[in-house]
Amino acid sequence: MGIPMTDIDLTALSLAELKQLEKNVAKAISSFEDRQKAEAFAKVSALAAELGFPLADLVGFAPARKRSEAVAKYRHPENPEITWSGRGRKPAWITDALAAGKTLEDFAI
């Protein structure tokens, strides 16, 4: 299944292509693991339901993990109280500044 590793000539790839390949492989592995976990969870949940129990009653309720508060990496040049962590959509002030020729490093904290 898939492409045998012997069919890929890694020596013919540029550094950028190798790094992209590395990212794609890491993403594929993570996606595969997530699918496997979801399948296992569905099977265990179905078995618990078949026995008349919600899965949460058998293993205890585990709330979803919360992401830690993102640390601010960029600060607005005119109002230091306005920051951005670099996660999610770029705020308008960053987008406008980048369009005007600034770089993210110009706003780094």
SS (H, E, C) 59-85: HCCCCCCCCCCCCCCEECCCCCCCEEC
pLDDT band (50, 70, 90) for residue 1:
low
30: number of Cβ within 10 Å = 10
Residue 12 pLDDT greater than 80, yes or no: yes
Beta pairing class for 83-84 and 74-75: antiparallel
Mean pLDDT, all residues of the chain:
88
Residue 18 pLDDT greater than 80, yes or no: yes
pLDDT of residue 61: 60
pLDDT of residue 3: 61
pLDDT digits (tens, 9 = 90+) for 55-84: 888 876 666 677 778 899 999 989 989 999
pLDDT of residue 2: 64
Contacts of 95 (CB under 8 A, 6+ apart): none
Measure the CA dihedral 94/99/105/109, to 10°: -20
- pTM confidence score: 0.43
Can you tell me the distance from the alpha carbon of 81 to that of 74, in angstroms, rounded to the nearest whole number? Answer: 11
